[in-house]
Amino acid sequence: MIDIENCHITHIPAKVLAEPAKPVEKIDEPIRKLVDKMADIMVEYKGVGLAGPQAGVPLRIFIISLDGQKENVRAFINPTVVCDGKTVTNEEGCLSVPGVFTRIRRYKKCTVTATGLDGKVFTEEAEGLYARALQHEFDHINGTTIADKMSTVAKIAHRKKLQELKDRQENENQ
């Protein structure tokens, strides 16, 4: 059961962001509603991608819209992202790590295989921002965020912001 009404953006160190998500078993109405809700959250916070755990739903699903527009949202269900070759380091942010922009090394190119909302499996080669977004979102469904990947130097530079997020989480759990 997905509680669509209660889906909202999650921030680190929420547990749902730190654990591998579970496969989607069936692409049904709740999944279509979830994608629509995730798209709304992504647009609201001006992102270009969002993964299930970021909406509080521990499922292997993410969306990407490189221009941030809802009409260009694509869903990737039970995806695999395979990377190889050269890497490139670039600034990255994450809606679940608000206020932190940090340099993250990613592969320049990758190949994604996923099921779409129409139930069809597709495979695509990606590069540039698309490849970076795929790797970022794939990390999310495996329980990893940019806060886990950032350098020690960056962690020190952002320690105040990271501590703030931690404190906020503790307050919410009380």
Positions marked catalytic: 137
- Please tell me whether residue 61 binds Ni ion under the rule CB under 5 A: no
**81 versus 94: smaller Cβ distance to Ni ion:** 94
- β-pairing verdict for 121-127 and 109-115: antiparallel
How many residues lie near Ni ion (CB under 5 A)? 1
Rg (CA), the chain: 16
Taking CB atoms, the residue at the shortest distance from Ni ion is: 94
Question: Which region among 17-25, 69-77, 91-99, 153-161 touches Ni ion (by CB under 5 A)?
Answer: 91-99
E strands, 84-119, are 87-92, 102-107, 109-115
Element (H, E) at 79: strand 74-83
Residue 161 vs residues 1, 14, 95, 101: alpha-carbon distances, Å = 34, 15, 14, 11
Q: How far is the C-alpha of 144 from the C-alpha of 56, rounded, in Å?
A: 14
Residue type at 27 in one-letter notation: I
- Smallest distance from the beta carbon of 29 to Ni ion, in angstroms? 26
In the three-class reduction of DSSP (H, G, I as helix; E, B as strand; rest coil), residue 55 is classed as helix
Question: Which region among 28-36, 59-67, 88-96, 112-120 touches Ni ion (by CB under 5 A)?
Answer: 88-96
- Smallest distance from the beta carbon of 93 to Ni ion, in angstroms? 8
- Contact pattern for Ni ion over residues 93 through 112, marking x by CB under 5 A: -x------------------
The footprint of Ni ion (CB under 5 A) covers 94
